[in-house]
Amino acid sequence: MLRAQALPRADRVHGRIRCVRPAAVLWLVWAGAAAVLSLWWFDTPNVSGLGDWLTGAGRITGLMAGYAVVVLIALMSRIPALDRGVGTDRLSRWHAMGGRYAVGLTVAHGLLITWGYAVTSHTNFLHQGVVLILSYPDVLAATVAGLLLLGVGMVSARAARARLKYETWFYLHFYTHLAVALAFSHQFSTGADFINNLPARILWSALYIAVGALLLWHRILTPLRQALRHRMRVAQVYAEGPGVVSIVISGRHLEELATEPGQFFRWRFLTRDSWWAANPFSLSAPAASNSVRITVKDLGEHSHQLRYLRAGTRVVAEGPYGAFTARLRRRRKVLLLGGGVGITPLRALFETLEGVPGEVLMMYRASSESDVLFRSELDSIAATRGTRVYYAVGPHRSGNANPLAARRLLAAVPDLAHRDVYLCGPPGMTAEAIKGLRAAGVRPRQIHHESFEL
């Protein structure tokens, strides 16, 4: 096995795709927020009295809410440079956190504007709210938009989402786009920062149009183009373990996708019962020029149906997505730490990460021997590479008996603190592993983890 060459940087060009650094994205978002705030600053010569203060706060929260929702849509528009540079997992966390702020800003905007107008007009809050909704242009549509956004925020809360199927939550999330469309017109018809400011109206419209175009291109037109170009079909379905199947998918010109081990696609199998659902599954082996393989665990209605797929079933794949790839690597020594079906992207990385014997190790956490996937494949790869797979098999234990406790990890991998760690598994296992790794001296920037909670 060849020794790894100079390790790639996060902004290195991969094929024709330039990856954007997370820090650059955050700086751009904050710069945009500052520019939005300047609209209010330069359009407000003075503020006096409680009514003006409340109305001014309402204008600020309204501007920031309008900006926040368009940023949230941009983050999840599946721009390749953004997805491969920042990573879908991190983008999803930013989106979830930003969504809470967007909902809060929207609610605060409605309450503050109504309160400020009520103080200025010397009327009560409820009466002023009715006047705004029924008398001001497009405010009724904006109110509906705010309620839609609040509803999406409520079903996206962790407790509520845990009760919903992935597909149900996914399609309910689309109401965010309807809310943005309903709220847009009232920003120009009643927004004091836009009514008499033509340049601001043009730039604000350009922002929304640009993000809408990105959404249309990357989430609708690109998948359709890929479907026509690559003509994917199910080639084979076989059992990998209890409740787990591997699906081999064939197609044309798949090398053009520039897929990297560790990435995933959103797969849509065109059968009568599942054509409408697109679910994310990682590749469980390096992609070939005419085929790819995914491995799926029976975790719900949709994944259960996949074991009955027939050869020849048409497939639409959106992707590849994710930054859980070799580009994250900063050290020559690596530990791949997986649990459950989280082994799928790690198995592909185990075969392809460059390194001399001993530089790339794997540890696989499973509750029982029957839950271990790809054992023969992993052992074969390890033998070829002159390395080892550590199987941490057994029921959950606490304290030092936990296979993911710092003492146990260091016993298996004494030089753990000097390795990059790629971590993928169920949320509980991932949290335990991070705790053990940190106690073993592994720095946060050395831990690269992928979540299943997209």
Contact 421, 428 (CB under 8 A): no
Closest by CA to 345, choosing from 404, 269, 267, 423, is: 423
Residue 452 pLDDT:
55
Q: How confident is the model at residue 451 (pLDDT cuts 50, 70, 90)?
A: low
Pairwise CA distance, residues 142 & 158, whole Å: 26
List, for residues 146-183, the tens digit of each pLDDT value.
999 898 888 877 766 667 777 677 777 878 888 888 88
Q: How far is CA 413 from the centre of its chain?
A: 31
283 DSSP 8-state letter: B
pLDDT above 50 for 80: yes
Closest by CA to 183, choosing from 232, 244, 139, is: 139
Q: Look up residue 305 and give its amino acid.
A: Q
What are 389's strand-pairing partners? 362
Contact 269, 313 (CB under 8 A): yes
3-state DSSP assignment of residue 113: helix
The pTM assigned to this predicted structure is 0.81
200: how many CB neighbours lie within 10 A of its CB?
19
Pairwise CA distance, residues 332 & 451, whole Å: 24
Write down the residue that tokens 């609040």 correspond to: 150
Burial class (CB in 10 A: 0-12, 13-18, 19+), 27: exposed
Residue 49 pLDDT:
86
Residue 84 pLDDT:
84
Closest by CA to 372, choosing from 352, 355, 392, is: 392
